[in-house]
Amino acid sequence: MSEQNKPEENLEPVISEEALRKAEEFIEEEEGAANKLSGWLAAFVTFTAVAMSTFHLYTAYGIVATQTLRPIHVAWVLFLGFLVFPVAQRYRHRIMWWDWILALLSVAVAVYLIQGGDDFTDRNTSPNSWDIFFGVALILMVMEVMRRTNGWIMPVITSAFILYALFGAYLPHPWTHKGYEVGRLIGHMYMTLEGIYGVAVDVSSSLIILFTIFGAFLQYSGAGKFYIDFSFSAMGGKPTGAGRTVVLASFLLGGPSGSGVATTVTLGAVAYPMLSKAGYEKNAAGGLLAAGGLGAIISPPVLGAAAFLIAEFLKISYLDVLLMACIPTILFYLALFLMVEIDARKFHMHELLIEKVDTVWHLTRQYWYHFLSLISIVAFMLYGFSPVLSVFWATVVSFLTSFLRSDTALISYDLFRRKGALLPLIFKSPFIKAMEGGSIGVLNVAATCAGAGIIVGVVTLTGLGLKFSSIVIDLAGGSLLMTAVYTSLVVWIVGLAVPVTASYIICAVIAAPALIKLGVPDFAAHMFIFYYAVLSEVSPPTALSPFAAAAITGGDPYKTTLQCWKYTVPAFLVPFMFVLDPSGQGLLLMGSTKALASANWWSIAEVTLTAAVGIAALAGGFQGWALIKTNLLERWMLIIAGFALVYPTSAADMIGFGFVLAALGLQFLRRNSAPVAPA
């Protein structure tokens, strides 16, 4: 991949319309293939989506009872889901009569529940015929919207859990349970806050949608473009400049978006030509782009939707989750930076003059307020605001600061000058598009949360979580290490088929109890599962981020996936550190803001340094390069050292540091003894 060996056609790469179209298809696979409507249908959907965003912004500040908010939220999601996403590809870009019927039925389900009041809830153990009718209709509609937005896998898995609840009496030990009738199951799923309207929908209705609205405000105010321009300007001019630009831009873009595929495609469309000119071949460039997109899901201040669920499951503040994510996120991007640095030396990449939009300082002076929008969320939470109010006021900050420049204003200045017809100006304004995008963007996640509520309801009703944890612990022979390995494999396998949010929810209720039963703190167990659920973004057959990157670069999807693994594997061994030994929990800052005051900062610094050295050793071992190209002995010494340093015990650390020093010493001697090549 050196300059002299590069194919000539890669010197001026062009991303074709076909490549971009394929990349968009991967976004649609993750977020659903939405209709592109026109005329009064488009206006109606826009009006409905804006009304949904307005309602949820009101609930952030006003008081709406939980028993009312959750059913209304699900009704909005189902109503828009049936109108925005077609039943099949051949019916795309139009709304069929059955879509209208299902949309109206979704409203009827919520109205029936809310009007029923306390009497409705009290009869959940013995529902009447109408209760069962509307409950069955709700379950079927949730699974249909899940299918339209996320494909067949989640409805199939959800159906399997329902069958388990109905026919558990016929299963062999240890899976058997007494079994539940349809009425009892419907009462639990529809008439209580333990099923569809459970924790996942609670988080979706109160937090996730507010963050999607916030992300849409940033997008339509030009924050995304600024983050890319800022990264290009700050990182250009060095052999590692192209790779560093991707890493920095993916972090800035990923923070507000929380979507791995969207970040990969957005950045890849503008960054791939630069990577190719710098010396990256197609699969390596795609792997780096996908790895950067993966960081979007684990990067504060937004993370992915699963992070909000962690806070709700653990009954801690979202700020605590942000704190727990800080050091692992730093270590993840450290791994990417190290891989980029090694790439530049390993493949003899040359300096690349990036055509800068402007100097970094000039850009910052003009658009500094886009950073303020990100920082304000954490600032409000530190000031004592709840996460809901923090993102609400951060959205207000984003809206107000957008008017500091006319080219970022969410409402056109022409509206205030009243040039032209008023209604079209309002309808076409970025503000309306942001309000619409906030609601449309949450539909696939919210549908997944509703479907996951069915799974959680079955687990709580049947006690499946405790059964599964006992099976895992017995299989591992009571070993914490083997239990963690089996748990990571379970999460990874589940993540092969379902999105990150669903993977986390399923495994949080069936797999986390196994780790907790062996003494792992609940916050460490849930963060462990969260990080391995994220692997679904880069794991075939649902490796959407690498596949989208391959569509842009023209590389092989599976080779791109392997390259992505190369970039990310060092950082994904870190979660073992905070479940295998109490000292490793320092990487999570003890999981609580209250604990920070009494935290042993030396212990936290020590475990962080150990993790960083372990990541560096693994990066060098996997790449086959440290000070110079490694030989077989040095490579294996670095890999063994990396795994040893990830295992948080004193003996393992001594072995790890010893192997690192020995490998570097051998490299130093070989480099100094190598003959100087003639000029």
Give the DSSP per-residue string, 580-593.
H-GGGGGGGGGG-H
What residues form DSSP beta bridges with 629? 625
Read off the pLDDT of each residue in 128-146 and give the average, rounded to a whole number. Answer: 94
CA distances, 583 to each of 329, 430, 523, 527, 574 (Å): 18, 49, 14, 16, 13
Phi then psi dihedrals of residue 629, to 5 deg: -60, 135
pLDDT at 464 over 60: yes
Tell me the pLDDT tens digit for each residue of 427-449: 678 899 999 988 998 898 899 89
For residues 105 and 115, give the distance between their C-alpha atoms in angstroms, rounded to a whole number: 15
Contact 160, 110 (CB under 8 A): no
Contact 607, 582 (CB under 8 A): no
Residues 6+ apart with CB under 8 A from 463: 177
pTM of the model: 0.82
CA distances, 371 to each of 148, 319, 392, 402, 419 (Å): 36, 19, 17, 12, 32
Q: Helix crossing, 260-278 with 17-31: angle to 10°?
A: 150
Residue 355: CA count within 13 A, CB half-sphere: 5
Provide the pLDDT for residue 255: 57
pLDDT at 7 over 60: no
Read off the pLDDT of each residue in 252-258 and give the average, rounded to a whole number. Answer: 64
Residue whose structure tokens are 């990577």: 275
SS3 629: strand
Contact 577, 584 (CB under 8 A): yes
Provide the pLDDT for residue 591: 43
SS (H, E, C) 96-157: CHHHHHHHHHHHHHHHHHHHHHHHHHHCCCCCCHHHHHHHHHHHHHHHHHHHHHHCCHHHHH
Give the DSSP per-residue string, 497-513.
HS-HHHHHHHHHHHTHH
pLDDT at 532 over 90: no
Read off the pLDDT of each residue in 60-80 and give the average, rounded to a whole number. Answer: 92
Provide the pLDDT for residue 263: 78
pLDDT at 587 over 90: no
For residues 177 and 668, give the distance between their C-alpha atoms in angstroms, rounded to a whole number: 63
Q: Rg of the Cα trace of the chain?
A: 26
pLDDT at 108 over 90: yes
For residues 128 and 124, give the distance between their C-alpha atoms in angstroms, rounded to a whole number: 9
Provide the pLDDT for residue 13: 56
Provide the pLDDT for residue 152: 86
Distance, CA of 677 to chain centre: 48
For residues 276 and 397, give the distance between their C-alpha atoms in angstroms, rounded to a whole number: 38
CA distances, 111 to each of 71, 123, 185, 450 (Å): 9, 17, 21, 17
Count of residues in the chain: 679
**Which of left, alpha, beta for 478 (phi over 0: left; psi -120 to 50: alpha)?**
left
Read off the pLDDT of each residue in 239-258 and give the average, rounded to a whole number. Answer: 72
Q: Which residue type, as a one-letter code, is found at position 45? A: V
When pLDDT is cut at 50, 70 and 90, the band that residue 256 belongs to is low
When pLDDT is cut at 50, 70 and 90, the band that residue 415 belongs to is low
CA proximity to 640, closest of 624, 662, 625, 655: 655
Provide the pLDDT for residue 631: 87
CA proximity to 311, closest of 378, 198, 387, 254: 387
Residues 6+ apart with CB under 8 A from 406: 413
Instruction: Quote the DSSP letter at residue 598.
Output: T
When pLDDT is cut at 50, 70 and 90, the band that residue 423 belongs to is low
Tell me the pLDDT tens digit for each residue of 316-332: 888 888 888 888 888 88
Read off the pLDDT of each residue in 647-674 and give the average, rounded to a whole number. Answer: 84
pLDDT at 630 over 60: yes
pLDDT at 296 over 60: yes
Residues 6+ apart with CB under 8 A from 647: 576, 577, 580, 581
pLDDT at 609 over 60: yes
Tell me the pLDDT tens digit for each residue of 215-239: 889 888 888 788 878 877 777 656 5
Cβ burial of 434 (10 Å; 0-12, 13-18, 19+) is: buried
When pLDDT is cut at 50, 70 and 90, the band that residue 1 belongs to is very low
Instruction: Quote the DSSP letter at residue 677.
Output: P
**Which of left, alpha, beta for 631 (phi over 0: left; psi -120 to 50: alpha)?**
beta
pLDDT at 4 over 50: no
For residues 606 and 600, give the distance between their C-alpha atoms in angstroms, rounded to a whole number: 10
For residues 604 and 623, give the distance between their C-alpha atoms in angstroms, rounded to a whole number: 28
Read off the pLDDT of each residue in 198-208 and give the average, rounded to a whole number. Answer: 89
Query: pLDDT over 90 for what percent of the chain?
Result: 22
Tell me the pLDDT tens digit for each residue of 338-393: 888 888 777 766 555 555 556 778 888 888 888 888 788 888 888 888 888 888 99
CA proximity to 267, closest of 42, 63, 552, 533: 552
